[in-house]
Amino acid sequence: MKNLLIAQSGGPTAAINATLVGIYQAAHTSSRVDRIYGARNGIQGVLEESFVDLKELIKDTQDMELLCQTPAAALGSCRFKLENMENNDKQYEMLIGIFRRYQIAYFIYIGGNDSMDTVHKLSEYCKKKNIQDICIVGAPKTIDNDLVEIDHCPGFGSAAKYIATTFAELERDTQVYTMDSVFIVEVMGRNAGWLTAASALARLNGSRGPSLIYLCERTFHPEQFIADVESRLKEHTPVIVAVSEGIMDSQGRYYAELGQSKGTDSFGHKYMAGAGHMLENLVRQRIGCKVRSVELSLMQRSASHLASATDINEARLLGIKALQCAVDGLTGHMASLQRTASDYYEIEITSVPVAKVANFEKKVPLDYINPAGNDVTDEMIAYLKPLIQGEVRIQYKNGIPKHLVLGCI
């Protein structure tokens, strides 16, 4: 028996289940894979032998299609990093023991940075112990788009499409009144500003788009921000501002963390405020016009109803590739994709050694940000635009999208 084990990890995205479906499809049709197990809640579930038989839970192609339009990790997730081999050899022994017991020949882990660290460590352990009959492979996903050695990450395109659409809709919403007003929209991204940059895509159909865009890659200067807003207010209203949750001051401190108030509310409790809320307060006090902040919060990563067809299709292909890597014995590899053309959009599905990926972080290059640090460049738009193309034909029932809940988490 050569069985397959799949697990998902890290923050939810709209595309992570499409990668699960890709792996499942390729495994289902392969003569080199017998049973297809899923582990609940990532590597933690593997350690707890919390397995499900995916052939029982995904019955037909209709189930596969529904799973592709279901947001977040259908198998559950975890935030769990394996210890270093040198510190805790037992954890690795235990995992290999479990793999042996279930005759796992292939383990595919879908996730971001931390998950690729797990793939790397586990495959290194196998090499060290000369275990050649268990292949450990990674499949990428993260809305943050911060993995290296891949052109862009599955999940990011759908989040970017939601953000671009929402900025266009908010622009319609906020321009109905005539008085001066400022709208601050906080977008996810603590260390990488890719998602915030996607707000600029609202301009693609002729809208003004955000008046100002601040990414976390550049130090945030409150005085410059106030000057920027005042200058834009002279030109038009509303002034819509896109800001990364992870903007920092010149000493490298997150504004969101500086925002811990010493004051209390009517229940006597402390406040915590995000970057957007901080800037809202700043505008209220310094400029005094109408101002409101909005957080795109969890909606930006879970809005499957507005997924990018490009993203979902690529996520599925990366799943198929990950399974191919597994049966081909490419242990310690991650399925990846690269652009092969510059004047039109074409990608090649590849694989890369996970050692090059784990624990690295791809930030926005500085030439994708304008010199003033308050917008993105045309290079950024050219990079982002293909990733949000195409709509998924979502199946609805009773007026809301159908989801496939595997019932195992």
Q: Which of 86, 252, 269, 342 lies at the binding interface for a copy of itself (CB under 8 A)?
A: 269
- Phi/psi at 101 (5° precision): -60, -35
Asked if residue 19 binds a copy of itself (CB under 8 A), the reply is no
Q: Which token pair is 358?
A: 């784990």
- Report if residue 152 touches a copy of itself, rule: CB under 8 A: no
- Binding of a copy of itself by 148 (CB under 8 A): no
Asked whether the beta carbons of 172 and 140 are under 8 A apart, the reply is no
Q: Select the residue interacting with a copy of itself from 82, 306, 318, 335 (CB under 8 A).
A: 306
* Stretch in the footprint of a copy of itself (CB under 8 A) among 143-151, 164-172, 323-331, 348-356: 164-172
Cis peptide before 238 (omega within 30 of 0): yes
Cα separations in angstroms, 339 against 219, 325, 379? 30, 20, 14
Backbone angles phi, psi at 184, to 5 degrees: -100, 125
Question: Residue length, the chain?
Answer: 409
Give the nearer residue to a copy of itself in terms of CB position, either 353 or 390: 390
Considering the candidates 114, 117, 144, 151, report the single residue annotated as catalytic: 144
Q: Which residues between 80 and 119 bind a copy of itself (CB under 8 A)? A: none
Residue with tokens 């977040």: 72
Closer residue to a copy of itself (CB): 125 or 383: 383
- Scanning 155-193, the segments in alpha helix (DSSP H) are 156-174
Site map 218..237 versus a copy of itself, x via CB under 8 A: ----x---------------
Which residue from 22, 38, 76, 238 is in contact with a copy of itself, where contact means CB under 8 A? 76
**Binding of residue 266 to a copy of itself (CB under 8 A):** yes
390 lies in the site for a copy of itself, by CB under 8 A: yes
Residue 145 binding a copy of itself, by CB under 8 A: no
Exactly one of 28, 35, 221, 305 binds a copy of itself (CB under 8 A); which one?
Answer: 305
- Residue spans of beta strands (DSSP E) within 72-189: 104-111, 135-140, 181-187
Mark whether 144 is an active-site residue.
Answer: yes
Judged by CB under 8 A, the stretch of 123-131, 145-153, 324-332, 388-396 that binds a copy of itself is 388-396
Residue selected from 262, 288, 341, 342 as contacting a copy of itself according to rule CB under 8 A: 262
Distance (Å) of CA 408 to CA 50, 137, 340, 396:
9, 23, 40, 23
Binders of a copy of itself among residues 173 to 212 (CB under 8 A) are 173-178, 183, 201-202, 204-207
DSSP string, 40-73: TTHHHHHHTT-EEEHHHH--SHHHHHHHHTS-S-
Q: Which of 98, 295, 345, 355 binds a copy of itself (CB under 8 A)?
A: 295
Which positions are annotated as active-site residues?
144
